[in-house]
Amino acid sequence: MFDVAKVAGISMSPLLMDGDLLLFRKRANCLPGDIVLYRVNSDLLLVKRVDGIKNGVISLVSDNQWTESSLNLSDLCANRVVGVVVASLSKRRNFKFQIHSRRRPEL
């Protein structure tokens, strides 16, 4: 099953921009390099890249090296991953549609 989310912020730029729409697969197993939606609490859903996962513990990172998160993104509970991003649509880039793989983009 798939669902849609909207990016708010610049922590995943240049790949994902504020306002981009994300197509994600709900409850999918994730692997290092995947872009995931992670539920911090009932009010906050993050879009981050999986840096590592082991024994039900996950570490996340932002693609934008110039931003810092106020949240600890290491040693998180992996069962809070809502889904894995499979594609995005960017209005700011003339409705560019991108398929997302596990490879982290070169900066």
Confidence (pLDDT) at 70:
73
Nearest residue to 2 (alpha-carbon basis) of 95, 85, 92, 74: 85
pTM over 0.95: no
Rg (CA), the chain: 13
Comparing 98 with 101, the larger pLDDT belongs to 98
The pLDDT tens digits for 21-76 are: 999 999 768 999 999 999 999 989 999 999 999 999 999 999 998 887 778 889 99
Confidence (pLDDT) at 107:
45
Close Cβ partners of 66 (under 8 Å, ≥ 6 residues apart):
none
